[in-house]
């Protein structure tokens, strides 16, 4: 017993990770992104954005755990992992039309440049430029709240992860 009787336990406050849009454009439900795997939620809950420009920024602060010209994985403090996948089937371009700005192992701040993408060239190759933002480890990271559809700017919150 403590000085004032029974000890009380206090739950630690939930960790909250705000995930911001990596691009300016129009947010749509992940189910409407056009990629069957993302649309079915197989890569985790999230949102899709149809970009207005090719500047792609980090959606969270953390460590870059995966860096490819078309896709970036970032582990935020607290363990939430966020995947930014630029376009659908863009892996087939072999990095063409993408200027990668980060590397695996790098610490990055939310809003810092990940890549510059020539959206017109990607579209001319017959590929979608839609950007998917998902939390692959949502089961371990916590509940994911998804913002509604509509216009977004790079840096505006599109997902909230609560652990």
Residues 6 or more apart whose CB falls under 8 angstroms from that of 8 comprise: none
97 carries an active-site annotation: no
Alpha-carbon distance of 25 to 123, in angstroms, equals: 16
3-state secondary structure of 157: strand
Helix residue spans in 32-156 (DSSP H) = 36-39, 119-124, 138-141
Q: Report the half-sphere exposure of 142 (CA within 13 A, side-chain side).
A: 17
Contact (Cβ atoms closer than 8 angstroms) between residue 158 and residue 49: yes
In the set 70, 85, 97, 103, the catalytic residue is: 85
DSSP type of residue 32: G
Which residues participate in catalysis according to the annotation? 85
């Amino acid at each position: 017993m403590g000085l004032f009787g029974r000890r009380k336990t206090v739950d630690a406050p939930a960790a909250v990770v705000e995930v911001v849009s990596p691009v300016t454009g129009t947010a749509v439900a992940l189910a409407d992104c056009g990629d069957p795997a993302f649309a079915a939620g197989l890569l985790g809950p999230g949102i899709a954005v149809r970009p207005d420009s090719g500047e792609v920024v980090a959606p969270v602060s953390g460590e870059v755990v995966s860096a490819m010209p078309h896709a970036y994985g970032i582990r935020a403090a607290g363990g939430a992992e966020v995947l930014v996948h630029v376009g659908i089937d863009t892996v087939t371009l072999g990095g063409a039309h993408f200027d990668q700005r980060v590397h695996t192992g790098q610490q990055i701040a939310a809003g810092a440049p990940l890549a510059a993408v020539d959206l017109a060239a990607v579209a001319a190759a017959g590929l979608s430029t839609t950007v998917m933002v998902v939390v692959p480890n949502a089961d371990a990271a916590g509940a994911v709240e998804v913002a509604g559809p509509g216009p977004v700017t790079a840096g505006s919150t599109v997902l909230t992860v609560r652990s």
